[in-house]
Amino acid sequence: MGFVFPVWLALAVLSLWCRPDVTEAAWSLQTPMKLVWHYYKVHNTCENAEPFIRHQVELFYNKDKTIAPKLLRLLYSDCFVNGCDASILLDGPDSEKMAPQNRGLGGFVLIDKIKTVLESRCPGIVSCADILNLATRDAVHLAGAPSYPVFTGRRDGATSTKASVDLPSPSISWEASLAYFKSKGLDVLDMATLLGAHSMGRTHCGFIVDRLYNFNNTGKPDPSMKASFVADMRKLCPPRTRKGQTDPLVFLDPESGSKYSFSNSYYSRVLAKKAVLGVDQQLLHGDDTKQITEEFAVAAGLEDFRRSFALSMSRMGNIQVLTGNEGEIRKNCRYTNKN
């Protein structure tokens, strides 16, 4: 099937976006919907929870724009492991944040600040899982993304182990990447769209040196990378030849990265064979994802990318949520109430 631009679609009390007509692509939030639109206002438990969160995010963002990609990565690392239960926020020598895949995570200080504010106004009411989802939405909106709908009413998980972290390698193949997204209840369009979040943020050279110097143990660079781009990246990322060597950070999208702005230039770079991560370049290996990349890359495609991003983020935020009597509402996002 061909890729078709999205159109407006009214769902309940808010407008969501219709999904493009892509093979096996979903067009709405997963069912059954366990979360509620403006949960804390509807239940009259903390009416201004969302404005409180938004205000703290704005204060932080005005001082440090890196918070947008940091929160995006933090939310992904949470939702894709045990579901959106804020288990990534728990401290401990064996916690999820200690897993190798989560090296360099940030954004914890802002979440702690928001939690402190909410506990002073509505003690024991707003979950850390909801705070993380809402704060991420507000931060990326300030960076230029759409203010997508975040349903709330999540509760916090009580366990966090680094052994449970199954986040894939950034050099994962197209087939393995799609299988991974499908295992989380997402589809091919969600994958192509959510990877577009790499228009912001940075990554360690350690995650890409294989593509630059020894792709698949060939002793050569990844042939899917443009030769001039390989040369540019090698200047930033020297080969790792000794123990204790520094591991520099590079922008995932040099065009928009330094501005920490949400854009569709990521897709143009994929088409130009200038993707930093292998998983990003793999979008050209599937007919559907290549077509989506081509559609999102053009100037008019920015709005279509924004629309698809809004729904894919909402869908991701609904992965394996805890509600009702499940889990707890942590008093401190770094520790379970028992601890």
Distances from the Cα of 256 to the Cα of 137, 143, 198, 328, angstroms: 19, 11, 10, 39
Residue that has been written with the tokens 């995570």 in this structure: 105
Q: Please, what sign has the CA dihedral across residues 48, 49, 52, 57?
A: negative
Q: Which of 73, 269, 315, 334 is catalytic?
A: 73
Q: How far apart are the first and last CA of the chain?
A: 52
Distances from the Cα of 302 to the Cα of 18, 237, 293, angstroms: 16, 30, 11
Active site residue 240: no
DSSP symbol at 320: T
HSE-CB of 32 using CA atoms within 13 angstroms: 2
Q: Evaluate whether 264 touches 205 at the Cβ level (below 8 Å).
A: no
Alpha carbon distance 200, 251 (integer Å): 8
Alpha carbon distance 317, 246 (integer Å): 35
Closest CA relative to residue 136, chosen from 55, 51, 74: 74
Active site residues: 73
